[in-house]
Homo-oligomer: A and B are copies of this chain.
Amino acid sequence: MSAAEIDGFAERIRSHRGGMISAWVGIPDATLVNHLAQEAFDAVVLDMQHGMWDMPSAANAVGQVRLAGKPALARIPVGDFASASRLLDAGASGIIAPMINSVEDAQALVRTTKYPPAGERSWGPSLALNYTGLSGDDYLKNANALTVAIAMVETRAALDAIDGILGVAGIDGIFVGPSDLSIALSNGDQVAPNAAEIDSAMQHAVSRCRAHGKFACAYAGDGERAGELLKFGFDLVIAGAETTQLRSGARRAINAARRIASA
């Protein structure tokens, strides 16, 4: 896939064609990401909130995702907006910010991910210029469109503020975190991302996104759940983290070996 196709991701996800599936990686190794990106994913998310990426390894991983012809997104740690612009400088196609619980949180995200006048992203797109092949002037004009700012909705407060958050100019879409949402809605009683109550919240989120003309993403713990979320109308879903996929692949291999060996 050419750079133009990779950088077309933002337009594709904003067009609500839907049906996108992204990989999700917390293990901080750039070559692992290249292997995973060979599969039929539409994008790869580098998780810096619960994964162990640091900036140099994440920057290398963005390169390896692009080398595989795919766009890279990054989830930043809670409130670490300074990392958001560094990751865009490193060529990421979008930022997923966790725990965006209010209009103010959403504005803070926009501030560091969008150039003026939309935000106050600071100038310094070193690798992004190399990768996109754009001149500085063209990058400035187009970067706000070529990259996406995605607000995570995963608390009661965020659900309450969802219209406000979606109404913030520069927020391109939302990403529902069902595990945290289930913990929040149960007051810490259970982590139940697939519960009926979460289904309703998710469908509500999709419909609010539609109303605002913005896109909706969500995390699913496995492929089956990811399929259900796509049916809810999400534009992009996760189908399990890389460790889940690794372990399920390993478990199946072990089981096959044991079954055949004892046949």
Contact = CB atoms under 8 A, between A and B. Distances in A.
Most chain-B CB neighbours within 10 Å: which of A47, A68, A127? A127
B19 A261 contact: yes
B52 A53 contact: no
B223 A52 contact: no
A191 to B, nearest CB: 5
Interface string A155-170: 1000000000000000
A38 interface: yes
How often does this chain occur in the complex, in copies? 6
Q: Is the interface of A mostly helix, strand, loop or mixed?
A: helix
B261 A231 contact: yes
A253 B78 contact: no
A93 interface: no
Contact of A29 (B29, B64, B245, B254): B29
A36 B191 contact: no
B56 A188 contact: no
B254 A36 contact: no
Given A50-B86, A50-B123, A78-B122, 6 more contacts: A26-B124, A35-B246, A60-B63, A77-B86, A115-B188, A117-B187
